[in-house]
Amino acid sequence: MTLIRLLRAEFHSLTTTRLPLWFFGATVLLALAVAAVVLLGAGTDDAGGMFGTLAAQRSLLSFGENAMMVAGFLGAIVVASEYAHGTVIPRYLVTPKRHYAMLAHLLALFLAGGLLGFVGGTLTIAAGAVTLPVVGLDRLVDAGTALRMVATATLAGAIGAAFGGGVGAIVRTTGGAVAAIVAFLLLGPPIVAQLSAAAAPWVPGALIAAIAGSVSATSTPTAVAALLLWVSVPVVVGTVLVARRDVA
């Protein structure tokens, strides 16, 4: 099968299960949470300090890290669950060149994660745009900045899904893959940043912030390259292991 046909099959597989819908639902809930934070925070004495500066609004409306985390879970669960349910076996019977099948799987996840990040980033910006004026605060994030933040969320979601897919292929159990995503994307980076100031700008959260323009410690091209390097490790290792290990 050609890569295009494999990619079509992967999209069909993704769109015929409910799992992606749950993750898109979680994305909508995160955007609604932003609206709730603004509305509830408006009644506090420090509402101006919480939401009244450009830096505060950038932080509030940034969806990049959330996109990478949510999409990472999506990718890990989608790939690992195929081993748990045995659906990976007919996949590789139909496509003996396993690395082609794995690359198509990861590419489909990359695109799905990008869509998830785009939707989440757009809804989060929209939630802020609607609720900030309601509570009497000016919108300080201009259109150009908002577009950059949405683009960052799109990229982060795409990379997160591919990262998770690679981890799922390595671990091959759903629980283990989820635990690995928590360790690598949620718990590990803050610990690394605390232990080494030199490493702090290179953890995923800091790289996403640099791409979004929230920090200037790393240039945007360098941050994008570093983030792609992050995702390349599990993607390459997972693809190699898929080609060499027994499926069952």
For residues 244 and 123, the model is more confident at 123
* DSSP for the chain, written as a single string: --HHHHHHHHHHHHHTSSHHHHHHHHHHHHHHHHHHHHHHHTTSTTHHHHHSSHHHHHHHH--HHHHHHHHHHHHHHHHHHHHHHTTHHHHHHH-S-HHHHHHHHHHHHHHHHHHHHHHHHHHHHHHHHHHHHHTT----S-HHHHHHHHHHHHHHHHHHHHHHHHHHHHH-SHHHHHHHHIIIIIIHHHHHHHH-TTTGGGSHHHHHHHHHTS--SS-HHHHHHHHHHHHHHHHHHHHHHHHHS---
The domain containing residue 18 runs over which residues?
A: 3-244
Tell me: the pLDDT tens digits for 208-246? 999 998 887 789 999 999 999 999 999 999 999 988 876
Tell me: the pLDDT tens digits for 48-105? 567 778 888 888 899 999 999 999 999 999 999 988 877 777 777 777 678 888 888 8
Q: What is the pLDDT of residue 37?
A: 83
* The pair of three-digit structure tokens given for residue 135, joined into one six-digit string: 């509570």
Give the model's confidence band at 46: pLDDT under 50 very low, under 70 low, under 90 confident, else very high: low
**Total domains in the fold of the chain:** 1
Give the model's confidence band at 42: pLDDT under 50 very low, under 70 low, under 90 confident, else very high: low
pTM: 0.90
Is the pLDDT score of 169 beyond 80? yes
